[in-house]
Structure 1
Amino acid sequence: MSVKNPVETLLQWAQQKPGQPWLYQSIDGVWKGYTWADAEAQVRSMATALRALDLPPGAAIAISGRNTAHWVLADMAISMAGYISVGLYPKQSPDHIRYILNHCEAKAVFVGPMIDLDEFMGALPEGIKTIGFPYPNLPICDHQWDDLVKAHEPFAGYQAPDPKAVISLIYTSGTTGNPKGVMVTTENLIFATQGMMKMMPAQGQERFFSYLPLAHAFERGAVELASIYLGAEVWFLEDLNKLAEQLKEVAPTRFFGVPLVFGRIQSGILKKLPQKKLSRLLRIPLVSGFIKKKLREGVGLQNARYLIAGAAPMPMSMLEWFESIGMPIMQGYGMTENNIYATVNLPHANRNGSVGRANPGADMRIAEDGEIQYKHAAVSPGYYKDPAKTAELFTEDGWLRTGDLGRIDEDGYLFITGRVKDIFKTLKGKYVAPAPIEGAMARNGDIDQLCFVGTGLKQPIMVVQLVPGNKPREQIEQGLIADMQDVNATLEPHEQIAKIYITKDAWTIDNNIMTPTMKVKRNEIEKHYLEKLHAIADDYATKVVWEA
């Protein structure tokens, strides 16, 4: 393979620009930089230390905790030493942690900063070796990062692995059942990263802000690996409570987010500048440009040439809102099984409502049943230790089944129309695809999250969580009913929203209603609320119900 792998590229930068900072870590609000030479030295010594632990060749080594400089350094050291890296989400359930570590037979785990550390440590299988990252308030581990680095000579004689060999396992966060271990090869990573560089080449010194989980293929590819190949800086968010503050400090040159994050940015702006006043100011030609500039600076996105949204569909209303304030957001699409290499909108080729055109070399087709399918070199070879699920993942002629439904317009833009497994049947015996209806209803600015359910109901009900605020109930209800009527006017009778059910409790990762990548778990919503929905279903007069 002519293109260098990530480890080889790291070593190249350490030779070409040893003193240039690569990773920036904040501890108690103070940033510390690690140059390419610093990174190389730590990665080499840690690779030697891992070999000294006498682990079996090709053993799995897990990395835990929130995003940190050492998460990335550990990933590179594992690869250099010839082992397989396995990322763990910082707020994963103990059952899933235990399952993943047992399933991949992990022999060691890097322990990083996270909430619920005691729970995490209690979930570790007996006999697994622990290596503590050098951060405050971490538990005592079998080994400490700094001690291992100091005690071992730099690793020499690195040999690049076979491009088709598995170098990492990415366990899907899963909306149902146990996570599945997606196998990732060097060839997968290089193909996806090189393709992304063609679409979004470096422009001067790039600066990334890392805050989405590195255990997910989206952040790992778009930030960790892209930074290595582009020679870009990476600044790591210290704490979720500091997101707004540190985003402004870093002011990245490209910003990747999920709809929930962009929704929070929108809410933050509207709290300071209500929509009526904002709309009035944007209509004044001499003021509009100034306001847009100040808004970008206010949230820390004044340098961002690319604002990319992925992981879940973004409502058209939100896309149009951000475009109106001079922050056009480009939607992309992908899945762990194709290393998030599928489609993306770009500034010069953007169609709102779509998820973009196929990436370079990403062959894409729509099957007869409407399923989106792919075949290219970034597609995973399958699921670890699960030949049955792997067989289900591919068609007879070798195309990856995404499980998503879509259509491609005359210009090649892909539109997601639903999810094969999300389609439900009401008591009327009619099938409903919830995704487009959820996307249409998400135009309402008071809605933070929503889920359209109808299994076992005569007519589907929209379950929503509201944006926190002090808006009068009557005003919220009026807006919801107006939007519901507008959406229903476009639907078949069996698809129409019967009523809106407003939940009292927040939907979070902690209460298992959202995945670590901030997707709503439809089956958990049904489990939590279906009994309550049945109780109110026959009251046809009431259109908005607040959970008691």
Structure 2
Amino acid sequence: MSQLPNPVQQLLKRAAETPNEPYLHQPVNGVWRSYTWGEVAEQARRMASALIAMGLKPGDAVGITGMNNAHWFMADFACGLAGLIGVGLYPKQSEDAVRFIAGHAGIKAAFIGPMPDAAGFLGALPAEVVRIALPYPGVAECAQNWDQLIAANKPLATPVERGADEVWSLIYTSGTTGNPKGVIITAANLAFTVAGVLRDQPPVASGEHFLSYLPLAHAFERGAVETASLYLPAQVHFLEELEKLPQTLAMVRPTRFYGVPLVYSRVQGGILKKLPQAKIDRLLSIPIVSGFIRRKIRKGLGLDRAWLVISGAAPLPRPIIEWFAKLGIDVLQGYGMTENSIYASLNLPGQNKVGSIGKPYVDAGLRIAEDGEIQCKHPGNTPGYYKDPEKTAELFTADGWLRTGDKGHIDSDGYLFITGRVKEIFKTLKGKYVSPAPIEGKFGTNTAVEQMCLVGTGLYQPMLVLSLNADARKLPREQIEAGLVATMKSVNATLEPHEEICKIVVTKDAWTIDNSLMTPTMKVRRNEIEKRYLELLGKLEADRKTKVYWED
């Protein structure tokens, strides 16, 4: 294993070598403030002293929440310097989840950043948790605040030592069912995965720039952006408001851009609002102007210098990948999970097979089990779930391989494909089993659909529940309905009779974190969809004529 320094050692190294180089860039009310490596290290060291002065001991847990910002990073670095365990909390997490995580992790203090509905979040924290407000407008008033603590405490002279296999941070999986599980991440886990990134995705000579906007409570943003920025190094720019993503992306022009399928479908929609598809096709068909148009669109998006554009968390429909490819943007799919430090496989520039999730990393130790499950064994794998030996035992095979729960296969060229979930199948009332993921993947060719979920438990034949994207909701229903029926017929022609979709239900509301139909990492909560719509679907089964039902 590479003997890389741990993250805070790396921070101090950067601060000593390049103290005046810019590192973090934070917008506040539209005005940008930059922090150098020296300033970030100084503030983190002072906050580490403040946490120790509060009586926190090495191994204590500290929560960090709020929208992504420079002080989220600094708070996490302060925890690392003080020997504390940083625990990210989603700002839109349900109160029940906040209450559970705070108690399960034993959180002693929590950094509170800008967030919606702060009152509900703070109300779910145990009264004894010390609240520390990050220095941003609109942050809820707390007993302590960042700037005062920084001013009152001297920088911590020496980081608290901890072993490579001790708990560095806890990342609670958002979970589609049950309580979140606390995934243990160690310094050894981080050292292994960072070494792999440096090997396979080395920094560009001109310098790396990131845009941080995906949730920092999630393993991907915490690892691929926060941690990787220390080692590449990379300058990190933050998003002040989600609505400002297009403008901020165009201004930052990141060298690496990461997104989930929903982001790419909305980026596509934004372009098509300004430039209709027919016009794009016409311009790209003219040899003299096609190259200019591609460059102009890429620059307008802010992806003109992005050499690595990655989509993860869920399958990105092939038509969207091919649409971006026509513009000269290769959106690369990768694969990983919190439990293996998001380290399994990745398509790379020049080594991209559309539809796959890339070739396994050379040291990912990946295998396909007899039942088709993807399993891996490498030093980035978590030691287990915090305070949950039973779930930890279920996570690993008898010979020590991590069970991903995903089914897949590796083709003759060495590329990995996901074909579904090991347990995510349902049985219809006909007694037949159906695997929903491949069917949903086929339906992804319909660009009007934003999210979908195939259900069939308690039904004689599967039905597809879906939500439309914002642009599709503005179109005539007859047009959308015709497209959905055409897609359904096309997909059904590839399926066994018991798998065929018999009806489509278009929901009246978008699926969001707030209405519990999506996890904070933008995964569909299948059990919530089934719970919410099963009674309606049961009633609709008797209607043989209607193929598309509109909820409203």
Shorter-chain TM-score: which interval? over 0.9
TM-score (norm 1): 0.99
Give, in whole Å, the separation in 2 of the partners of 1:286 and 1:531. 57
Question: What is residue 38 of structure 1 aligned with on the other side?
Answer: 39
Give, in whole Å, the separation in 2 of the partners of 1:137 and 1:278. 42
Give, in whole Å, the separation in 2 of the partners of 1:160 and 1:333. 33
Question: What is residue 541 of structure 1 aligned with on the other side?
Answer: 545
Residue type matched to 2:268 in 1?
Answer: Q
Number of residue pairs aligned between Structure 1 and Structure 2? 548
C-alpha contact (below 8 Å) 1:453/1:463 kept by paired residues? yes
Give, in whole Å, the separation in 2 of the partners of 1:226 and 1:360. 19
TM-score (norm 2): 0.98
Q: Pairwise CA RMSD of aligned residues? A: 1.0
Question: What is residue 401 of structure 1 aligned with on the other side?
Answer: 403
Question: What is residue 485 of structure 1 aligned with on the other side?
Answer: 489
Question: What is residue 384 of structure 1 aligned with on the other side?
Answer: 386
Give, in whole Å, the separation in 1 of the partners of 2:354 and 2:502. 28
- Please report how far the alpha carbon of residue 249 of structure 1 lies from its aligned counterpart in structure 2 after TM superposition: 1.2
> What's the CA shift string for 1:55-106, capped at 9, x where partnerless?
2331000101010100000101101100111000011001100110000111
- Please report how far the alpha carbon of residue 41 of structure 1 lies from its aligned counterpart in structure 2 after TM superposition: 0.6
Residue type matched to 1:60 in 2?
Answer: A
- Please report how far the alpha carbon of residue 32 of structure 1 lies from its aligned counterpart in structure 2 after TM superposition: 0.4
Residue type matched to 2:203 in 1?
Answer: A
- Please report how far the alpha carbon of residue 442 of structure 1 lies from its aligned counterpart in structure 2 after TM superposition: 1.1
Unpaired runs of at least 5, structure 1: none
Question: What is residue 26 of structure 1 aligned with on the other side?
Answer: 27
C-alpha contact (below 8 Å) 1:43/1:73 kept by paired residues? yes
Residue type matched to 1:336 in 2?
Answer: T
Matching residue within 502, 517, 525 for 2:529: 525
C-alpha contact (below 8 Å) 2:26/2:70 kept by paired residues? yes
Give, in whole Å, the separation in 1 of the partners of 2:365 and 2:67. 34
Question: What is residue 209 of structure 1 aligned with on the other side?
Answer: 211
- Please report how far the alpha carbon of residue 135 of structure 1 lies from its aligned counterpart in structure 2 after TM superposition: 0.7
Give, in whole Å, the separation in 2 of the partners of 1:436 and 1:283. 33
Tell me the secondary structure at the aligned position of residue 388 of structure 1.
helix
> What's the CA shift string for 1:305-346, capped at 9, x where partnerless?
110001111111111111122111000000000010110000
Tell me the secondary structure at the aligned position of residue 389 of structure 1.
helix
The residue correspondences of 1:297-316 to structure 2 (distance < 5 A) are: 297-316=299-318
- Please report how far the alpha carbon of residue 255 of structure 1 lies from its aligned counterpart in structure 2 after TM superposition: 0.2
Residue type matched to 2:531 in 1?
Answer: K
C-alpha contact (below 8 Å) 2:3/2:191 kept by paired residues? no
Give, in whole Å, the separation in 1 of the partners of 2:160 and 2:386. 24
> What's the CA shift string for 1:488-533, capped at 9, x where partnerless?
1111111111121111011100010000011110001111111111
Give, in whole Å, the separation in 2 of the partners of 1:366 and 1:160. 39
Tell me the secondary structure at the aligned position of residue 450 of structure 1.
strand
Unpaired runs of at least 5, structure 2: none
The residue correspondences of 1:469-484 to structure 2 (distance < 5 A) are: 469=471, 470-484=474-488
1:195 to 2:196 alignment: yes
Question: What is residue 168 of structure 2 aligned with on the other side?
Answer: 167
The residue correspondences of 1:66-465 to structure 2 (distance < 5 A) are: 66-203=67-204, 204-465=206-467
Question: What is residue 65 of structure 1 aligned with on the other side?
Answer: 66
Residue type matched to 1:284 in 2?
Answer: I
Residue type matched to 1:475 in 2?
Answer: Q
Query: Structure 1 residues 70-79 or 316-325, which shifts more?
Result: 316-325
Residue type matched to 2:331 in 1?
Answer: I
Residue type matched to 1:292 in 2?
Answer: R
Quick one: percent identity of the two aligned structures?
59
Residue type matched to 2:12 in 1?
Answer: L
Tell me the secondary structure at the aligned position of residue 405 of structure 2.
strand
Runs of 4+ in 1 over 3 A off after TM superposition: none
Residue type matched to 2:265 in 1?
Answer: G
- Please report how far the alpha carbon of residue 157 of structure 1 lies from its aligned counterpart in structure 2 after TM superposition: 2.2
- Please report how far the alpha carbon of residue 271 of structure 1 lies from its aligned counterpart in structure 2 after TM superposition: 1.5
C-alpha contact (below 8 Å) 1:5/1:160 kept by paired residues? no
Matching residue within 481, 488, 502 for 1:498: 502
C-alpha contact (below 8 Å) 1:209/1:236 kept by paired residues? yes
- Please report how far the alpha carbon of residue 421 of structure 1 lies from its aligned counterpart in structure 2 after TM superposition: 2.3
> What's the CA shift string for 1:151-184, capped at 9, x where partnerless?
1111112254211111100000010111000000
- Please report how far the alpha carbon of residue 116 of structure 1 lies from its aligned counterpart in structure 2 after TM superposition: 0.4
Give, in whole Å, the separation in 2 of the partners of 1:363 and 1:398. 11
Residue type matched to 1:171 in 2?
Answer: Y
> What's the CA shift string for 1:325-373, capped at 9, x where partnerless?
2111000000000010110000121100000011131100000001000
Residue type matched to 1:46 in 2?
Answer: M
C-alpha contact (below 8 Å) 1:97/1:123 kept by paired residues? yes
